[in-house]
Amino acid sequence: MSYQMMGFWERPTTKILKGHRYEIRSLSLSPCGRFLALDSFIESIRTWDIENEAEIGRCNVTKNIKSVCFSPYGKYFAFVNDWKLFYEK
């Protein structure tokens, strides 16, 4: 796997989500285990539906994202960069 892909596996299969052009800096799995938010450093935060292996959302943000996480019930996700804390529905 290269630094531009995110892989996850469930025995006996492995699935790879392709789409990010830059290194993935942080990720968060939703509480229900179905959605994954990935931050690619200078590009965007993408949200994926793991079951369907499909990108379902993209949040174009400024660079230097430090962390991304889902809320406890999975309705929102938040991310922080060098200057501010943001959230998305």
Picking from 41, 42, 11, 14, the residue whose alpha carbon sits closest to that of residue 26 is: 41
Q: What percent of the chain has pLDDT over 70?
A: 70
Domain residue limits, the chain: 23-88
pTM as predicted: 0.70
Place of tokens 């943000």: 61
As a whole number, mean pLDDT of residues 55-82 equals 82
User: CATH fold of 23-88, please?
Assistant: Thrombin, subunit H (2.40.10)
Q: What is the structure's pLDDT at 4? A: 58
Express each pLDDT in 17-60 by its tens digit. Answer: 777 777 787 888 999 989 988 887 666 788 899 888 898 988 87
